[in-house]
Chain A
């Protein structure tokens, strides 16, 4: 308010501009060129226009001077408001939109609100409102699909992903194409699904590959985003794409100011077979900083689980002079359950370094190898109490077998 007073007529000018564009929304069919231009203009105005747009969502506000006697007009303004509020990420509008996704509202309004809720991001109430649509279940498959896509945007997995997968693989051509189109807009959250569908669906393979190409380009452009979270998510998702030609674009992020960005980028590079990525992670595994070592362990475990790209190097590392490297490699082989490493892990139970020994014990228990039983028995009387303790625990895990 004070800002408005200081700026003189600045606020009212913005308000007039917003009101004018709202009238253009009201006067033009949804998605017509003029309607779209008005929505774009409102996005440019951004948050200063949000209050007037949020008002358009609530039916109780269509009275007095703001009354609109034609229902189609309300559909056009409400749909526009939802689209703009989603695009400017006005999180405070999420609650109002959750109340407009039921069958009581017109289809374009529902669609716009469902999409916008996904754009506005995770809240418990938003997830629950969208899951309600899936569980009810809404008879309209498109509405179900859009709700599922919005949930994916909020990081939901499982049954939600299956809803989208079924839509793409379904006989309903129109629904399948809508699903692919929507996945294109999910950004990094939908990449792994898009990749797996591109590998499975013969019917829409070309369309899926085209979409994947667009998402890939978008992710690459996001690698230089100001927000480290967006850089991190984008770098991770590019690893999912599985395209080694992306390595040059990812390499600069190994120098990123954010730890998480660096490690996630190194994981993606490793999954794509990049020597630089692997060197970064193995180098960090021997670092003095325990936080960096934990990050390296987690990242290498993930790479091994997802691609198996670092298995040979992990096995070689067991013969390293550095106890930190040997200990880290043992831990990763156990966490990633690499059964092939059991003989070397048994050998590691007699390592001179006690930390390597107890990590080897834990790894063998995780893999569940019965052939390690006699080695573990021997460790019950190890000089190091921790090693002896974990040996007893590991034997319990393996059972009498």
Chain B
């Protein structure tokens, strides 16, 4: 064996060794880590194209968490891939990123996934040379297409529960109307009407009243799953949904929005006598299609932070 041959084999072997291994790692989480690494590596190199290769071609929405896990603080930051890409190019031209990324959690269900990462490091202004420390938690959601995981949405600067409750913003009339109509469809038992408020690419996550994403669970990863479920539920139950919209944020182009609702749900079964009453906060990430707002991603049973402004939670009742 020549020295050159041996060197080639050694390089090959080194390339086969994974960079690190993690408990609970699966083939899918390895692929998701690779996508996340494209984003980090692109930012470090100032390569916007590499960063954008981690994102889906026709669906990218970025929300700003404003350092709070209380979704009443969240607003729409970028409504499209183009808007996000342009902003990124400007950012990378102006700043030099030296960041480390810790993937704190990945949840995979079928072809959908969400992950939380903690980015830490330095951002240096290329013009002035001034540096500042960056520590930022980011919530990512992914879709697997053509054997590749690509990000569909980000919530940047997600804080933790220590940031306390957020005030929320007064409801936008259009968004409020759509969400109240969705609630009314449940009360009327009209499955078609319920589903008419849902985007084909719906993702629904149950947060279990927790602000810790490690306790969250993807419950619907496709429209079909949700459709079957809604049909089944309305065949068997009678719902009454009383909805209050407690926060909305609409993007500048009015094509994306985020909203938080407080729902009081009462339900009766056709097959029995048990009755259910549940109060819950839900966070709706909505997209506008042909003039209608449709849910693209929903976090149900969000953590019930204490209210800060009575006007948003009149007569608030403690959530379970």
Task: Please list the residues of chain A having a beta carbon within 8 angstroms of any beta carbon in chain B.
Answer: 23-24, 26-29, 32, 34-35, 60, 62-65, 67, 69-70, 72-73, 76
Contacts and interface: CB of A to CB of B under 8 A. Distances in A.
Interface string B267-299: 101111110101000000000000000000000
The 9 closest A-B pairs by CB, nearest first: A27-B272, A27-B269, A28-B272, A27-B271, A64-B225, A63-B219, A65-B228, A70-B276, A67-B219
A303 B73 CA distance: 78
Interface string B207-221: 000000000011111
A34 B274 CA distance: 10
Interface centre among A60, A63, A72 (most CB of B within 10 A): A63
A65 B225 contact: yes
B278 A27 contact: no
B274 to A, nearest CB: 5
Interface string B197-240: 00000000010000000000111110001001100100010000
Contact of B229 (A26, A28, A65): A65
Interface of B: 109, 206, 217-221, 225, 228-229, 232, 236, 267, 269-274, 276, 278, 300
A35 B225 CA distance: 28
A64 B269 contact: no
A73 B277 CA distance: 11
A36 to B, nearest CB: 12
A69 B237 CA distance: 12
A24 B271 contact: yes
A391 B228 CA distance: 83
B276 A73 contact: yes
A28 B273 contact: yes
B273 A27 contact: yes
Given A63-B218, A65-B232, A67-B220, A34 B225 contact: no
B218 A23 contact: no
B198 to A, nearest CB: 15
A70 B237 CA distance: 12
Contacts of B278: 69-70
A81 to B, nearest CB: 16
Contacts of A64: 219-221, 225, 228-229
Contacts of A28: 269, 271-274
Contacts of B276: 70, 72-73
Contacts of B206: 69
22 contacts: A23-B271, A24-B272, A26-B269, A26-B271, A26-B272, A27-B236, A27-B270, A27-B274, A29-B273, A32-B272, A34-B271, A64-B219, A64-B221, A64-B229, A65-B225, A65-B228, A65-B232, A67-B219, A67-B220, A69-B206, A69-B278, A72-B276
Contacts of A23: 236, 269, 271
B229 A67 contact: yes
Contact of A29 (B267, B271, B274): B274
Nearest to A63: B219
A29 B275 CA distance: 9
A141 B272 CA distance: 32
A114 B236 CA distance: 31
A28 B221 CA distance: 29
Nearest to B237: A27
Nearest to A65: B228
Contacts of A29: 273-274
Contacts of A69: 206, 278, 300
A28 B217 CA distance: 26
Nearest to A26: B269
B307 to A, nearest CB: 23
Contacts of B217: 60, 63
Contacts of A70: 267, 276, 278
Contacts of A63: 109, 217-220
Given A65-B229, A73-B274, 15 more contacts: A23-B236, A26-B269, A26-B272, A27-B271, A27-B273, A28-B273, A29-B273, A34-B271, A34-B272, A62-B219, A64-B228, A65-B232, A69-B300, A70-B276, A73-B276
Contacts of B219: 62-64, 67
A24 B228 CA distance: 19
Contacts of A34: 271-273
Nearest to A20: B271
A101 B267 CA distance: 29
A287 to B, nearest CB: 63
A180 B195 CA distance: 54
A26 B236 CA distance: 10
Nearest to A59: B217
Contacts of B269: 23, 26-28
Nearest to A25: B272
Interface centre among B206, B229, B236, B300 (most CB of A within 10 A): B229
A23 B233 CA distance: 10
A225 to B, nearest CB: 36
A76 B274 contact: yes
A63 B274 CA distance: 22
